[in-house]
Amino acid sequence: MGRHLQVESEVVVYLGMRHLIVLEGIVQGTDVRVNRYVKKEIPQGFQQGLVSQLGDATKTLQGMLKELFPDNASAIIAAWIVLGNLKLRQYSFQSSQYYQGDIRLITSDEIHSVIQQTRTVATLPLSEFVLQTLPDNFMVDDVSGVRNPMGLEARRLGVNLKIFTMNFQEFKNLSKVFDSSDLEVTGYIPKGLTISQAVLSDVEKTQGALVLDMTSENTEVFFWKDGAVMSSGMLDFGGKQIDTRLSERLGIDLFDAERLKKNYAAFVPPDNRDELIPLINRDGRESRQIKRSEFQSLFSEIAVEWLTGLLGQVNVFIQAQGSHYPHFIFTGGGASIDGFIEFLYKHFSLVARIGLTKHVDAPTELLVDPSMTHALGMFRWIATSHQEQKQMMQTNGFLKRIVVSARDWFLAYF
């Protein structure tokens, strides 16, 4: 057992579908600063956010930690782990507690009790491991949607509880990697909790906002309204579908199609339309070329087809929420192609914006990358939601006695 890392900082590890990134930063109140980071694309030992080879995965993470903390190679590092994979699940459960006799002053004791009761009666698949249990909102007597009931008086307190889980066996493999890397895990956080903290304003959260996180495998949607996540879903439209169509239309391997999209795809007409770009590149040798203009035309055609299907499912999702014209925010790797927002408006008359991280002081290359919102949003979550939860759940027996005494005194004399 090594010593703990003696720094007043937060360490965040984000394991996504294609990226592994370790960041170190400072959280002081609501001020967030990311000082340094190490990033690996398609990290060895991992596949789509899961462990594919335990030894290689451990070696990859240990190497990144040594690179980020060269002077603390033997230290135990406390870290938050943000997960983004296809094995994550989310469940909602509700229950209430009724108080006999006098009206009850709601303190952290009552809040903890109703949350524990709801967690106990929640029926989850036995194959799932619970990552986080978080209250979404509360019901105080007949008033629903209460964000924080502390200090209120009630005869009934209910809670809407969100439980975030992951397949147990897949989680067990991940936890072995983190344990073997001398990480002391502060908490496992699904990326859905951190994205919105990074990209949404308070106005958007209140008025209604739809966050679309586009990855290689799918598009995850989060609908915000009245300051809370009202619903979420998974749509079967990912960037790999575009790669597959390019592969079919051009008669090339999927690997080459993915490379073409990454290096040459854009939603704006290229200046060098007559440039020849290689369809195949093996050992530094290029073969089968195509004009940039021809590739652009084909890519645009496939993108329109892909977005038509995606937005069709999005409209069904919005209608199910009973919402009209929410703010549209696109994030994730799929939103990073040049001209994406202009393309959406031109072909679909959709007004939207790219979701980039707000209110975080970080290296520019991270702030302008929509695929980094999951990692940077964790720092915002620590500064906001995590602190709110701590304050609401902290033991406050002394404060409770003061408040109760003051209330009794007021009622007695006035």
Give the per-residue pLDDT at 407: 42
- The set of residues, in sequence order, having a beta carbon less than 8 Å from that of 164 and lying 6+ positions away, is 88, 89, 90, 130, 131, 132, 133, 134, 190, 192, 193
Write the DSSP symbol of residue 3: P
Predicted confidence at residue 386, as pLDDT, reads 77
Candidates 246, 414, 221, 256; CA nearest to 332 is: 221
Model confidence pLDDT, tens digit, residues 138-152: 999 999 889 889 999
State the helix-helix crossing angle for 340-348 and 292-321, rounded to 10 degrees. 70
Phi/psi of residue 359, each to 5°? 60, 35
Contact yes or no for 164/89 (Cβ under 8 A): yes
SS3 call for 390:
helix
In the predicted model, what is the mean pLDDT of the chain? 88
16: phi then psi, degrees, rounded to nearest 5: -105, -170
Beta bridge partners of 159: 95, 138
Answer yes or no: are the C-beta atoms of 100 and 156 closer than 8 Å.
no
Query: What is the maximum alpha-carbon separation in the chain?
Result: 91
Identify the pLDDT of residue 65: 95
Query: Is residue 394's pLDDT more than 80?
Result: no
Q: Does residue 231 register a pLDDT over 80?
A: yes
3-state secondary structure of 164: strand
- What pLDDT does 230 receive? 82
- Tell me 103's DSSP state: P
User: Which phi and psi angles does 164 have, rounded to 5°?
Assistant: -105, 130
With 0-12 / 13-18 / 19 or more C-beta atoms within 10 angstroms meaning exposed / middle / buried, residue 394 is: exposed
DSSP designation for 155:
S
**Can you tell me the distance from the alpha carbon of 329 to that of 344, in angstroms, rounded to the nearest whole number?**
12
Half-sphere exposure of 295 (CA within 13 A, CB side): 26
What pLDDT band is residue 4 in, cutting at 50, 70 and 90? very low
Question: 372 is written with which tokens?
Answer: 């980094």
Of 47, 84, 315, 348, nearest in space to 220 by CA: 84
Determine the residue type at 70: P
Helix (H) or strand (E) holding 89: strand 88-98
Q: Is the pLDDT of residue 73 over 80?
A: no
| 396, pLDDT greater than 60 | no
> Would you say 114 and 137 are in contact if contact means Cβ atoms under 8 Å apart?
no
Q: Where are the beta strands (DSSP E) in 307-358?
A: 327-331, 353-354
**Sign, CA torsion 25/17/195/115:** negative
Please give the average per-residue pLDDT across 11-15, as a whole number: 97
DSSP state, 27? E
pTM, two decimal places: 0.86
pLDDT digits (tens, 9 = 90+) for 297-351: 999 999 999 999 999 999 999 999 888 889 999 999 888 888 999 999 999 999 9
Domains of the chain, each with CATH number or no CATH:
91-168 (3.30.1490.110), 234-354 (3.30.420.40)
Rounded Cα distance between 49 and 188, Å, is 13
